[in-house]
């Protein structure tokens, strides 16, 4: 598929997925988030991972708060995204505690993240990551992911491959409404390295 065709296919799929997500009630989002959290914290890869990156969820994403609490309860190290809005650069910076989240400044996307000038431990400069929880608008069962179009995670995964010997394991967190038959991909897109069917039976 030519680049322009891929770009057009992504644009129309994004619009369709946003519409699908708007139709999911708050109760249903919470129900699926709770079921998915139970599956995540029992997942073998999660159990053996020590250094984990996880996104702070927006209203149309799987709620990650309980997973974050469990990361700390299990004595693992938690990193969260810090996006640079003028580029596609993102760092994963260390979170001190789940309680700290509500005091972090809010971005234009209305999500909390540490201030740009605040000095924090960055995952890739202190030993890399074992596991990255991936947000996205859509996923298919071949591990293809449709992001929001900024390329933050694709760029970050490429940096991971350059700076650590073992690839971080990637787990997609998705509502069942976000699973597509096929996600259009171009050469810049990184697959979700492992896409377990965590959303089955939700």
Residue 53 in marked binding region:
no
Query: What are the C-alpha distances in Å from 184 to residues 14, 30, 88, 153, 172?
Result: 11, 29, 20, 16, 17
Residue 153 in marked binding region:
yes
Residue 152 in marked binding region:
yes
Q: What is the mean pLDDT of residues 125-143?
A: 91
In this model, does residue 199 exceed pLDDT 70?
no
Residue 56 in marked binding region:
yes
pLDDT in tens, 41-98: 999 999 999 999 999 998 889 999 999 999 999 999 999 999 988 888 999 999 999 9
Q: How confident is the model at residue 194 (pLDDT cuts 50, 70, 90)?
A: very low
Short-list 6, 17, 4, CA closest to 139: 17
Q: How confident is the model at residue 202 (pLDDT cuts 50, 70, 90)?
A: very low
Residue 18 in marked binding region:
no
Residue 29 in marked binding region:
no
Domains of the chain: 3-178 (3.40.50.10420)
Short-list 186, 176, 169, 187, CA closest to 50: 169
Give pTM, 2 decimals: 0.89
Q: What angle do helix axes 26-41 and 65-73 make, rounded to 10 degrees?
A: 20
- Using an 8 Å Cβ cutoff, are 164 and 129 in contact? yes
In this model, does residue 105 exceed pLDDT 70?
yes
pLDDT in tens, 169-192: 999 899 999 988 888 877 777 767
- Using an 8 Å Cβ cutoff, are 190 and 78 in contact? no
Looking at residue 178, the DSSP 8-state letter turns out to be G
């Amino acid at each position: 598929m030519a680049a322009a065709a891929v770009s057009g296919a992504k644009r129309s799929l994004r619009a369709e997925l946003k519409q699908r997500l708007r139709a999911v009630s708050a109760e249903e989002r919470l129900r699926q988030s709770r079921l998915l959290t139970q599956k995540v914290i029992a997942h073998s890869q999660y159990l053996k991972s020590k250094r984990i990156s996880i996104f702070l969820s927006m209203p149309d994403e799987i709620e990650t708060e309980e997973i974050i609490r469990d990361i700390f309860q299990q004595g693992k190290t938690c990193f969260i995204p810090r996006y640079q809005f003028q580029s596609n650069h993102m760092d994963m910076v260390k979170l001190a505690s789940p309680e700290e989240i509500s005091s972090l400044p809010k971005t234009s996307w209305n999500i909390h993240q540490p201030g740009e000038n605040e000095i924090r431990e960055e995952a890739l400069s202190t030993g890399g990551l074992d596991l990255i929880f991936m947000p996205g608008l859509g996923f298919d069962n071949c591990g293809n992911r449709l992001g929001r179009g900024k390329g933050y995670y694709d760029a970050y995964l490429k940096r991971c491959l350059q700076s650590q010997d073992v690839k971080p394991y990637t787990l997609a967190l998705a509502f069942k409404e976000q699973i597509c038959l096929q996600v259009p991909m171009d050469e810049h897109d990184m697959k979700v390295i492992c896409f377990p069917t965590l959303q089955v039976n939700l």
